[in-house]
Chain A
């Protein structure tokens, strides 16, 4: 049975990711494990955004807010001595989902530019809220005394264990996401993006579906935030800054909007680019800025499209 290019890319990608910890150990370069793990965490954030941006056409410019909520959902309990991972991460997901539900319920009443602005504004609101939380560090942020504790073999203090947990969660998200976008629910979301008037004319009320998708994406973003807090062992309101939202959006576009797997590549590529550029010069953003502009103007199909060719389109 001939293997499609897409399957090949996915399998190879998965294998490569799985091999990073042993390779890093063999070459005594723990830095790479740390770097790729960070990439995967942002990949989770980017994939969650792709659900609503790529498939739903909802240009949410405030997605970083959920990473912040997830991070604080780990940090605040830890500050008060609650280090249980199940509680922290559970809180991260639930809190993000609830906030997404509220923000979505208001924002989805608008569309187009107003939607972009209102999601941006809500994220800023949360950012300022974070800064005003003096007890939890205000704009200096909060140091995590210890990573989230789980029972048994899952000890996040072991870099490789944490790495494989993140990888597992990424794979899980991609698997669930794939089912989601192909399901009845996913079809409604995609139809509403393709032609909202048509979707309404056949009897779909898009709002409830969009809100659901928005909430799911927020929850996944919250999980990414919890992971990020563990990764950096430090969290600040900056996690929620709107420029972070822009970065995540770029990962989605760079990788390929509406492809689910593309954003993974986008996250890897963008973080790699930032890493390489910042080694070159302190003022790397002056190069990154124009690169981003060029990507938007000329390479919108995204890297996934380049890798996988015609199979990229899900249509």
Chain B
């Protein structure tokens, strides 16, 4: 495989696209962890629920845009129900309890989804109006759908930034992230805030899942694979920090995508091709974990830790 500039650019854009998806998931997860001190392993399940709902609704409505648009509030609703029914008692518990209880939720959701839609992977096609390629640069066609994901992701990131920095809710979120006891002392309705934050996170995860359908396969358990990478993102970025989530998501997205694409050929120039054949993919999938290990080793609090936690 020859490495051309075009290929590098394409993979860079793919890395950006994957990074965007990771960010959507990471933003919700880091807020929930930062504000409610809740480790939520079932965040990936919300991603999965978003994907399935979008797929089902698209089929029902006959329109991709409608399907995604409806899947968002639906996932948000699912998230709110989960929070009220199962998660409220966990805020006071230690992390081990949270990990185990949300692990139980994963089993539940994976099986629920399998019961309704079966265990086989479902493939959704890219909607026609977003199909095909468009020319990013002369000689560089790029799938329109993936570009759309990037655009949506950037728009959402901008909206999120506005929300967090310019609105009252955002102010409470930021205050809550750095000092939980303080905001309850200030009379903010904690339970409502928590539910809102969780709902927001669920909606973001649902959006990621809904957009993921046409690109990745939709099947039970799809949440876990991306979830672990999302945790890597927030550990690298710094828990509770949205800025950290942005940087972490880009770093992880790029590292993973570029690693998978180029590690094998690059290695093949240094060591024998058969060895590169084996080492390349192995190293590629391990690369982001090595990255996380390195960050934790040198800077355990992450790249952009919230001030109170430094």
For this complex, into which size category does the number of interface residues on chain A fall?
35 or more
Query: Are B114 and A283 in contact (CB-based, < 8 A)?
Result: yes
**A86 in the interface, Cβ–Cβ < 8 Å?**
no
Query: Are A128 and B285 in contact (CB-based, < 8 A)?
Result: yes
A296 CA / B224 CA spacing, docked (Å) = 21
A61 CA / B296 CA spacing, docked (Å) = 17
Contact of A285 (CB < 8 Å), options: B96, B111, B235, B282: B111
Query: Are A118 and B111 in contact (CB-based, < 8 A)?
Result: no
Interface residue count for B (Cβ, 8 Å)? Answer: 41
Query: Are B104 and A289 in contact (CB-based, < 8 A)?
Result: yes
Contacts of B289 in A (CB 8 A): 121-122, 124-125
| Interface hits, A240-254 → B, CB 8 Å | 242-243, 246, 249-250, 253
**B112 in the interface, Cβ–Cβ < 8 Å?**
yes
A300 with B97, Cβ < 8 A, contacts A285-B108, A289-B104 known: yes
**B33 in the interface, Cβ–Cβ < 8 Å?**
yes
Closest residue of chain A to B86, judged by CB?
A: A293
Q: How far is the CB of B151 from chain A (nearest CB, A)?
A: 31
Query: Are A290 and B278 in contact (CB-based, < 8 A)?
Result: no
The interface residues of chain B, by DSSP majority, are classed as helix
Provide the B77-106 mask, 1 if CB < 8 A to any CB of A, else 0. 000000000100110000111011101111
**B293 in the interface, Cβ–Cβ < 8 Å?**
yes
**A172 in the interface, Cβ–Cβ < 8 Å?**
no
Contacts of A165 in B (CB 8 A): none
A122 CA / B104 CA spacing, docked (Å) = 22
| A/B pair count, beta carbons within 8 Å | 122
Q: How far is the CB of A125 from chain B (nearest CB, A)?
A: 4
The interface residues of chain A, by DSSP majority, are classed as helix
A296 with B100, Cβ < 8 A, contacts A110-B300, A121-B231, A289-B111 known: yes
Contact of B100 (CB < 8 Å), options: A124, A133, A253, A286: A253
Provide the A259-301 mask, 1 if CB < 8 A to any CB of B, else 0. 0000000000000000000000001111011111100110010
A122 with B293, Cβ < 8 A, contacts A129-B282, A132-B282 known: yes
A120 with B231, Cβ < 8 A, contacts A283-B114, A289-B106 known: yes
- 26 A-B pairs within 8 Å (CB atoms) are namely A59-B95, A59-B96, A59-B99, A110-B296, A113-B39, A113-B239, A114-B300, A122-B289, A129-B282, A129-B286, A131-B285, A132-B282, A132-B285, A133-B282, A242-B224, A249-B99, A250-B100, A285-B107, A286-B111, A286-B112, A289-B111, A290-B108, A292-B100, A292-B107, A296-B97, A297-B101
Ranked 3 nearest A-B pairs via Cβ:
A289-B108, A289-B107, A292-B104
